[in-house]
Amino acid sequence: MRIVVLDGHTLNPGDNSWQPVEALGELTVFDRTPESMVVQRAAEADIILTNKTPVSAESLASLPNLKFVSVLATGYNIVDVRAARQRGIAVANVPEYSTHSVAEHVLAMVFEFFHHAVRLSHLVHEGRWVTSDDFSFWEQPLVELSGKRMGIIGFGRIGRRVGQLAHGLGMEILAYDVVRDKTPSYAPFAWKSVEEVFAESDIVTIHCPQTEANTGMVNHALLSTMKPNALFINAARGGLVCEQDLADALNAGVIAGAGIDVLSEEPPRADNPLLHARNCLITPHVA
């Protein structure tokens, strides 16, 4: 059994052992693989392991021995699953490894946006508190999260964990998912449409896989329905968002801010509009 890891560096930069995988077959590990070299490097592979290196329909058609593609991440949009299915090639992902960390990262963005801990610390170090006439000072309104509405698009493992954490802070939860089952026992909670979640929430966070149907779903039309003081968060896939539309909404004050952990192209191009957008907190795909 020949096993090829296309981009092992992000999973294992040297602090993990590949021995459990080596025990399963003849293993070859590449730290990084450009898409143009997938067929060359996996030519004899029975199994491919990949994180962000795309495995296209064209590549699949040129890999006659391939039986299985394992995506070393939660999202699997980098694999043409339709072409894999047609060829009888199984595709799997790792759905549970990041549930807690992504949910916690979302809350970190929420806290920073509403409580401004980093910004206030910078002001203190700049001497603003030293020169203040009062025992405290602030530049923006002080806000409590209790009583606000958290809207969640995609109510799977990660979305449900975000809901649990937000509920623990006293927030009302609005959720959309293509499958409405296992309604949470906590309250207040309500199932809503995508449009209702965006229009009624103080915070909207998306946690759905990217598909052909929902690519670019967060666009001008949807963003324009949000509250002007609302926060938008994306820790799912960058392709779910029309980035120019989001940048325009931020710069025009249509919404108050955004927290972004994923972009349509990673690393981003220097001209990505979100890099220069107003009130846009961006982290480098670490959630």
220-245 confidence digits (pLDDT tens):
999 999 999 999 999 999 999 999 99
Measured CA to CA in angstroms, residue 23 lies from 1, 18, 39, 200, 256 at distances of: 10, 9, 24, 52, 52
Quick one: pLDDT at residue 281?
97
Mean pLDDT computed over 72-81: 90
Residue 273 is given by DSSP the state G
Same domain, 111 and 246: yes
Do 62 and 135 fall within a single domain? no
Catalytic residue among 2, 116, 128, 285: 285
Q: Which two tokens stand for residue 264?
A: 């349509």
277 assigned to some structural domain? yes
User: Does pLDDT of 75 surpass 90?
Assistant: no
Catalytic, out of 266, 269, 276, 278: 266
Q: Of 67, 92, 117, which residue sits at a domain end?
A: 92
Q: What is the pLDDT of residues 100-130, one digit of tens each?
A: 999 999 999 999 999 999 999 999 999 999 9
Q: How far apart are CA 241 and CA 112, in angstroms?
A: 22
Q: What is the pTM of this model?
A: 0.87
Q: Which two tokens stand for residue 135?
A: 């025992």
Give domain status of residue 64, yes or no.
yes
- Write the pLDDT tens digit of every residue in 77-89: 899 999 999 999 9
Q: Are residues 53 and 85 in the same domain?
A: yes
Q: Cβ(193)–Cβ(176) under 8 Å?
A: yes
For 46, 160, 225, 284, the CA distances from 164, given in Å and listed in that order, are 41, 6, 26, 25
Please write the tens of the pLDDT for every residue from 165-207. Answer: 999 999 999 999 999 989 999 999 999 999 999 999 999 999 9
64, 92, 120 - which closes a domain: 92
Same domain, 172 and 62: no
| Same-domain check for residues 142 and 161 | yes
180-219: string of b/e by CB count within 10 Å (b at 16+)?
Answer: eeeeeeeeeeeebebeebbbbbbbbbbbbbbeeebeebbe
Same domain, 207 and 247: yes
- Domain with residue 141: its CATH number is 3.40.50.720
Asked if 278 is an active-site residue, the reply is no
Residues 66 and 135 in one domain: no
108 and 249 assigned to the same domain: yes
Out of 92, 126, 153, a domain closes at 92
| Catalytic residue list contains 105 | no
**Are residues 88 and 139 both part of a single domain?**
no
**C-alpha distances in angstroms, 19 versus 16, 22, 25, 27, 46?**
9, 5, 10, 9, 18
Q: Across all residues in the chain, what is the average pLDDT?
A: 96
Q: pLDDT tens across 231-280, in order?
A: 999 999 999 999 999 999 999 999 999 999 999 999 999 999 999 999 99
Domain membership flag for residue 131: yes
Number of domains in the chain: 2
Does some domain include residue 287? no
Asked if residue 123 belongs to a domain, the reply is: yes
Based on the domain organization, do 51 and 136 belong to the same domain?
no
pLDDT confidence of 74, banded at 50, 70, 90? confident
Same domain, 244 and 138: yes
Annotated catalytic residue 237: yes
| 41 shares a domain with 104 | no
The answer to the question of residue 203 being in a domain is yes
Tokens coding 238: 């960058």
The answer to the question of residue 217 being in a domain is yes
Range of 145's domain? Answer: 99-282
Active-site residue, selected from the candidate residues 149, 172, 237, 243: 237
Does residue 50 lie within any of the structural domains?
A: yes
